[in-house]
Amino acid sequence: MSCTIKHVVGTCIRREPRPQTKFEEPELRILQLHSDYVEYEPVKKEAPNAEDAEKKKIRVEDVVLLLTSVEKGDDASVARAAVDETASFMRKLKASRVLVYPYAHLSSDLAGPAEALSVLKEMEAYARELGLDTRRAVFGWTKRFKVAVKGHPLAEQSRTIRSDGEPRRIDTVQERMPVKEGKSLDEMKSVVFRQAKYDSEKLPANDHRLIGQQMDLYSFHDAAPGMPFFHHNGMIVVNELLGYWREVHRRADYVEARTPIILNRQLWEISGHWDKYRENMYFTRIDDDEYALKPMNCPGGILIFKGASHSYRDLPLRVYELGIVHRHELSGVLSGLFRVRCFTQDDAHIFMREDQITDEVVGVIRLITGFYGVFGFEYRMELSTRPQKSIGTDEQWAAAEYGLRGALDSLGVPYKLNPGDGAFYGPKIDFHIKDAMGRTWQCGTIQLDMTMPEKFDLDYMGADGQPHRVVMVHRTVMGSIERFLGILVEHFSGKFPVWLAPEQATVIPISDKNSEYASKVGTLLDGEGFRVRVDNTSNTMNYKVRDAQHRRVPYILVVGSKEEAEGTVAVRDRTGKVEYGATPDQFIQALKAKIESKEIN
């Protein structure tokens, strides 16, 4: 039996063993969350050996959280292997406090209460032996809890290890998905055709999963866990969003590229992903060669740059890609659009000379902050500098940090300095946006990379006629299109600005005799390129209005005999305010102005 202590956060679903790879040894998978705080409260005893505890809130700050399920067969050696891995993770973070949190919802093959408690106590004791400031949440209780995970790239990491503490090794021969014998077609359909349904009584009114269901934007199916299905309405929003994103980049002299989703193993070995990121990747075989679905776009973009010669006069070269990437996540942490396995990254790579760093970073900062401003987001910036473990020379790091700091200082913008919190390959600037509920999200990033140009021998010909190593910047604005859309849905509670709304206006006749006039108005709006629906159904007018409000349509045009006689419409906005006597042309001009200005509601 596999050693299966698993750490997870969120709503948990049983995850079957991954079919892509064959492992030489038993394994366990852990998820480690570097958190600003964890707050929990024992509610009710559930296990017969539940520990004594007071029913009060307990808060632990600046902590690495381990949510832990213990399965049959797990023992002290597995516990120690897990803690060793966690201790190594904490050293990289310069963190000293850990909270072991019993969480029994990941597995259907749980150890008995006595065995589970024994393993958890062993983890606690061994963590203390290693000198960690160790806490353990009470065992045997149902608990309420909240967690605020830090926003830096290493805050959430999963690892797969063996009971002897060694990292797993992957065979070069991969297995096909096993066929489950004995299942009828109907039984398979009952699983594969399942679609997630969300209850308005169990979720907050602005939950993006619920709103997506109400507005017919997207859905989630068991046939592809963690991979959202976008419907027609959802694609309208995505395409409008990306249309504006592309416009912003064209104005900033970026060019567009597209690279394959599946790339050869050798490329990932050169980039370092095969060694450092393999357990988060998906694999396949083509003509007896090993390939991987890309978890990042940069190696493909690098091949495009490397495929041509470049002079110092050609730089900077700004290349963007809306690339679909796949990254494995434990099923228990999947959450709507916020945590997925397949997403579109709004990536860009800038290839430049060292003397261009400051100007280029200034341009990226202006592009990102301008984009956020269109949606009314407040934001803050954080500059993270060289960590203790890094690659590159002192001179390279000094030039890179000087370039980023110089860009921020030249703009006169406030920022937080995070000494030693940069990526191992270079310093970075992260952007944290604040939504209408006051929550912060780390979306945009600017990262100077001194690793990839070395690994791929990326050069340009300088003015001196000699080759020089190029400087490379990775940057995103939204980070993940799917996640950013989920943030927008909750930020606006589905009431998108008119330019983003999947349906911009609904025309409703008061009675059947006004249907022809309603259709005429709808045709006028459609001819101007607006997204409009004419509701000529047999439902009552009040029902039609409520239905349009439920779909969060920005404008409802009601037409009756008076409006038909005068050639006007009654315009109702989402606040319930009604304007009478407007002609269709007046409404069209007003709507055009709102769309062009991207006015926020």
Examine the residue annotation and report whether 275 is marked as an active-site residue of this protein. Answer: no
- For residue 157, is pLDDT > 80? no
Give percent of the chain above pLDDT 70.
89
Domain end among 429, 464, 491: 491
pLDDT attached to residue 5 = 40
Task: Say yes or no: 397 and 529 in one domain.
Answer: no
pLDDT value of residue 158: 67
Report whether 123 contacts 84 (CB < 8 A): no
Are residues 315 and 427 located together in one domain of the fold? Answer: yes
Inside any domain, residue 275? no
CATH number of the domain enclosing 578: 3.40.50.800
Which of 327, 341, 544, 552 is labelled catalytic? 327
- Report if residue 479 sits inside a domain: yes
Computed over every residue of the chain, the mean pLDDT equals: 86
Confirm whether 188 is domain-assigned. no
Q: Is residue 100 part of a domain?
A: yes
Confidence of residue 29 (pLDDT cuts 50, 70, 90): low
Evaluate if residue 17 carries a pLDDT over 50.
no
* CA dihedral for 203, 228, 437, 503, sign (positive or negative): negative
Query: pLDDT tens-digit profile of 286-329?
Result: 998 999 999 999 999 999 999 999 999 999 999 999 999 999 98
Residue reference for tokens 């404008």? 555
**428 an active-site residue?**
yes
What sign does the dihedral 7-9-15-17 (CA atoms) show?
negative
Tell me, yes or no, whether 219 and 331 share the same domain: yes
Is 474:298 a contact under the CB 8 Å cutoff? Answer: yes
- Count helices and strands (H / E) in the chain: 16, 27
Q: Collapsing DSSP states into helix, strand and coil, what is residue 121?
A: helix
Reported as a single tens digit per residue, the pLDDT across 509-541 is 999 999 999 999 999 999 999 999 999 999 999
Lowest mean pLDDT among 235-249, 418-432, 496-510: 418-432
Which of 7, 341, 474, 483 is labelled catalytic? 474
CATH number for 404:
3.30.930.10
Spatial CA neighbour of 147 closest among 250, 39, 302 = 39
Which of the following is catalytic: 207, 347, 430, 535?
347
**Residue where a domain stops, chosen among 428, 463, 491:** 491
| 128 included as an active-site residue | no
Q: Are residues 541 and 486 in the same domain?
A: no
> Which of 20, 157, 213, 345 does the annotation list as catalytic?
345
Position 416 in a domain: yes
How far apart CA 381 and CA 144 sit, in angstroms, is: 32
User: Residue 425 CA to chain centroid, in angstroms?
Assistant: 22
Q: pTM for this structure?
A: 0.73
Domain count for the chain, please give it: 3
Q: Which of 80, 136, 328, 349 is catalytic?
A: 349
Q: Which CATH number covers residue 78?
A: 3.50.80.10
398 CB contacts (<8 Å, ≥6 apart)? none
Instruction: Domain of residue 576: give its range.
Output: 505-597
3 carries an active-site annotation: no
Select from 491, 524, 556 the last residue of a domain.
491
Q: Select which of 428, 475, 483, 572 is catalytic.
A: 428
In a domain, 182, yes or no: no
Q: Which of 3, 298, 435, 491 is catalytic?
A: 298
Whether 349 is catalytic is yes
pLDDT at 182: 55
Do 486 and 529 have their domain in common? Answer: no
State whether 372 and 305 are in the same domain.
yes
Ranges 11-25, 29-43, 105-119, 216-230, most confident: 216-230
Selection from 60, 61, 70 nearest residue 7 by Cα? 70
CA distance 107 to 124: 21
Total residues belonging to the chain = 601
Residue 107's pLDDT is 59
Average pLDDT over every residue of 179-204:
74
What's the confidence (pLDDT) of residue 23? 38
Residue located via tokens 């979720």:
203
Start-to-end CA distance of the chain, whole Å, equals: 57
In one-letter notation, the amino acid at residue 76 is: A
One domain, residues 330 and 471: yes
Residues 142 and 237 in one domain: no
User: Domain check: are 410 and 549 in the same one?
Assistant: no
- Clarify whether residues 515 and 393 are in a common domain: no
298 tagged catalytic:
yes
Answer whether residue 267 is part of any domain. Answer: no
The verdict on whether 327 is a catalytic residue reads yes
**176 within a domain of the structure (yes/no):** no
Residues 244 and 359 in one domain: yes
Residues 140 and 230 in one domain: no
